[in-house]
Structure 1
Amino acid sequence: MVNHFRNNFALVAVASVLLATASQNAFSHTRLTVNSSPESSSAHGTTTTAVNVPHGCGDNSVIGNVIFLPDTDSAIVQTSTDNFANFETPEGATALNYIVNPPFIRLIKSRDVFDHQEFIKDPLGNPIGFWAAGGELPAHNWVAQLPFNITSVAIQPESCASKVVLVPAIANICNITSMAEINSQDPDNPNVDFWTAPDVGSPYDAPSWSYPATYTIERDLENNPLPASCGEGLAVRIIPSAAQLNRDMPVKIDGQQVWPLP
């Protein structure tokens, strides 16, 4: 089973890939197709979105993808009054100081790009992301979309959060390599393309804040008004911690790590 899926993950149809003449657009970042929603306390409310992958790693095709949301146990929390031009990291703050319920995902069954998908779960077994493999996105002139749902999230009524920005961690994998060959600070790395937060303290950190995608939850000010003491409120950013990145970014099959190579 492990060998079967490892082979799928590493499958690259190089014999049929044509050289593309168009240059890669520097602004073609990996993003979510739907990147915001109003808050909701509905137990069954979801937002349908997808990971939009616009290109490979240089001239190398994408053969796998990893995406996960920040968990609520270890996430880094930042607040700002000027939309993150400046921000603070409140001491002792947790994600649940600002959101009532953690976000989970539901996978939408699709084999348009990759044949195999597996959930990534938090320590309690809740689905917070997934990895996909067994297929290929050619490096140039093709776009892949990996669809999924994000469950509804309500903002804590007592908090000053006017919006909460979730920062997912995303990696587009183009070659199966060891950690020694992964340099997340290299924007031209031919092996992997990281769309993660910077300065977290993990080997998977991206170079700057121009890299990570975002998913914004807007406060319903009519039904969940800000407390009078909050003024115009805060923007809150919730980011996967280094511990979570180190736990959830590696791809494991039947308990065996297949990327990065151990």
Structure 2
Amino acid sequence: MKRSNQLKVFTLTVMISMLLALAQNTFAHTRLRVPVIEENTANHGSTYNDVVIGHGCQNTTDGASTIDTLGTVIVFPDGKDSIITVNGAPHDGTLFDFIVKGVIPITKVQDRSIFTHEDYIKAQDGLTNVGFWVGGGSGLRAGFRGLFPFTTAGVVIQPDSCVKSITFVTAIADICEITDPSGFTDATVQLWTPAVGSIYDGAGLHGYDSPATLKVNRSATPLPESCGEGVDVVVKPSAEQLNRDLQIKLDGQKIWPR
């Protein structure tokens, strides 16, 4: 009996250790500080948030995250050629079917506490912000975490739709060395991107197909009775958008990737 109890305690200890390791690894990923928000309107102000870099890049000796981060870039789905699913099924329409503005408005909060430069990433119309980048200066030292503030506003679910939530899948790259895509390794970049067939998929790398997400819950209007339990919508950026938008340009010149 004593041996049986010891075995149970040992098994439980191992399971707890594995869960703690998994939790620490998950929390160390680059994520949004507030991953779930309520829908809002311009009249109700903005929802303040942060991109949180959990760790630097991994060295080739022991795989530890000891390489400093030179900058980061984040892109949200632009709603033009995005990949949309409704309860897991493909949707052929646009974001206007689900949210009033057909896009998630992004505003960068100016902050140079870590990096010296920052700027928006514009949609093809040259007007809409689909993301932003930060970089330059001494960078983010390995072993420290970085918070990069931004806001979302006017994310309003179509009142007559059956949407109970809409999740925006982002694409983020934490850059540790300036390379071209052929030089992407765990030592040069941390790719937190959806695997949609872009040059940033990062197959085999540390963060493969584990992007940060922003879920918006319906709260401004009641779900129509005819909708039953409602539907969950997921929106991902397309490969075309990522190949076009997930980059850093300074004064019109492309800095990353080469």
Q: Give the alignment's TM-score, normalised by structure 2.
A: 0.80
**SS of equivalent to 1:26:** helix
Deviation at 1:151, TM superposition (A): 1.4
Q: What's the offset of the Cα at 1:196?
A: 1.2
Stretches of structure 1 that go unaligned for 5 or more consecutive residues are 1-24, 81-86, 184-188
- Give the equivalent residue in structure 2 for 1:231: 228
- In 1: Cα distance, 2:244 partner to 2:128 partner: 15
Residue 77 (structure 1) aligns with: 84
Give the secondary structure class of the aligned counterpart of 2:25: coil
Which residue number corresponds to residue 73 of structure 2? 66
Question: How far does the alpha carbon of each residue in 1:196-227 deviate from its partner, in whole angstroms, 9 at most, with x for none?
Answer: 112x110112558861111111102xx52222
Question: Hey, what's the Cα distance between the residues in 1 that align with 2:190 and 2:242?
Answer: 15
Match of 1:217 in 2: 216
Q: Which residue of structure 2 aligns with residue 204 of structure 1? A: 200
Q: Is the 8 A contact 1:47 1:152 kept in 2?
A: no
Q: Name the CA distance, whole Å, in 1 between partners of 2:94 and 2:248.
A: 27
> d(CA) in 1 for partners of 2:193 and 2:182?
19
- For 1:66-145, list aligned pairs within 5 A: 66-80=73-87, 87-90=88-91, 92-101=92-101, 102-124=103-125, 125-135=127-137, 136-140=139-143, 142-145=144-147
Q: Which runs of 5+ in 2 are unaligned?
A: 1-23, 59-65
**Per-residue displacement from partner, 1:36-90 (whole Å, max 9, x unpaired)?**
221123346211111110110113110010012111111111121xxxxxx1112
- Partners of 2:72 and 2:111 in 1: CA distance: 14
Given that residues 193 and 201 in structure 2 are in contact (C-alpha distance below 8 angstroms), is that contact kept between their aligned partners in structure 1?
yes
- How far apart, in 2, do the equivalents of 1:255 and 1:149 lie? 25
Cα separation, 2, equivalents of 1:209 and 1:260? 18
Q: By how many angstroms is 1:107 displaced?
A: 1.6
Partner of 1:150: 152
Supply the AA of the counterpart residue of 2:81. Answer: S
RMSD: 1.8
Q: TM-score, normalised by structure 1?
A: 0.79
- Does the CA contact (< 8 Å) of 1:105 and 1:129 recur in 2? yes
User: What SS does the corresponding residue of 2:116 show, helix, strand or coil?
Assistant: strand
> Residue 169 of structure 1: CA displacement?
1.2
Change (3 A) 1:46 1:120: same
In 2, Cα distance between the equivalents of 1:245 and 1:93? 20
The yes-or-no answer on 1:55 pairing with 2:52 is no
Question: In percent, how many aligned pairs have the same letter?
Answer: 39
1 CA distance for matches of 2:202 and 2:93?
24
Q: Could you list the per-position Cα deviations for residues 97-139 of structure 1 after superposition, in whole angstroms to 9, with x for gaps in the alignment?
A: 1111121122212111101001111122112211111131122
Separation in structure 2 between the aligned mates of residue 238 and residue 209 of structure 1, nearest angstrom: 18
Q: In the alignment, what sits opposite 1:32?
A: 32
Among 178, 181, 186, which residue is 2:180 paired with? 178
- CA contact 2:184–2:202 (8 Å) conserved in 1: no
Give per-residue Cα distances to partners, 1:213-257, cap 9 Å, x unaligned.
11111102xx52222332101111111111110111121223322
Q: CA deviation at 1:174?
A: 0.4
Provide the residue aligned with 2:162 in structure 1.
160
- Aligned position for 1:3: none
CA distance in structure 2 between the aligned counterparts of 1:259 and 1:150, rounded to whole angstroms: 25
Aligned equivalents of 1:163, 1:177: Cα separation in 2: 38
Which residue identity lines up with residue 93 of structure 1 in the other structure? G
The answer to which structure has the higher helix fraction is 2
